[in-house]
Structure 1
Amino acid sequence: MEHMSPRTTSTRPSPSGLAGLSGRLRGRGRSLRKGIGKAEPVMRWSSLAAVAGVVTGSVAAGTISGLAGLFARTVVTPVKTPAEDLEILAVVQGESGLEVILPVNEETTVPGTYSLVFDGGAGVARIGAVSSFDPRDGTVQREVEEVYSGNLSTAVRGRWTGFIYPDPRTLGHEALDVRIAVENGSAPA
């Protein structure tokens, strides 16, 4: 058996062995040239992935920011005109005057006096007691105590509200429309 020195057991490839190693590494995205390893393709893919990540993150941040702004405006900005979500089925002449026929829901069947706002807020009527209730038809008929403004007979949709009188004058009380001075003119008080 031959005696080997520690130098002959080196794991370092010989110059002639570099060609075989170079061939094995080339298939893995690396290449060896003159004994120096280069990772050019790996660097290109890393740069591309970093750019794609930055672009994707920027687009996501912009989208989230835009949606947050839209949500904030929707929550903070009041609705200009409340929705008239109650269908007015008919206005008929009852025993004691006008009556309105409405669909049955939680609000229209409750005893009491309410207002029906219609025509985009231009019309207001005070609605009184239930005169007829037909659960099979899904309708309720209520007395119209007074029409303050608008033509209830031509209205097709309205909004059920809890206020009964549009202003104190309706009850016979004296009331003044007062305006106060503010920074850019005057405002109702």
Structure 2
Amino acid sequence: MNHLSSEGISIDDVTPESSLLLRYGDSHIAWDYRASGELATLRKALFRVMPFNASLLSLGDAVFSSKELQNGNFVGIHLRAEPDWPAFWGTPARQMEMHAAEIRRLNVGALEPVTNIYVSCGDKTAIQTFRDIMAADNYTVHDKWTLLADRPDILDTVNGLTFDQKAVVEYSVLFMRVL
């Protein structure tokens, strides 16, 4: 808290209405959507700027309801590896390193370690790289393509979506248990 104090911020200043964004020197940003109070407005705001509709949310439900994600808890990750992502916000390799470290830290001493990981990303190669990294520690990395492989009709529908529509589908998977 010394750094916050030097900025004139006390812990009493942090409330759901006045949340705090923590920036780490490694470009990894942590944000607690539950504590921030942002969920009440976030989905509404996205409805106004993105083509949210019942069919996209239904596709997200189909991914989320996969037996692989319903078999206990899972960690959800939004990995930004697309060409439009500014590298100064964290290269894919750096993001993978930070996510891997955090997942491992999360499981230290856990009675029921979380070994299932869902990765939201538009780059299959980046997902496979992360899958390879995590497989060494017996983690299973899932994505929309692997989870829908046994439902080719739904997978074809998802593959036919625009980039932004796929983002809506993945958003609903990542935040299904939070919302």
Shorter chain as denominator, the TM-score bin is: under 0.3
Larger Rg: 1
Instruction: Tell me the TM-score normalized by structure 1.
Output: 0.21
Instruction: Tell me the TM-score normalized by structure 2.
Output: 0.22
Structure having the larger proportion of residues in strand: 1
Structure having greater relative contact order (Cα 8 Å, sep ≥ 6): 2
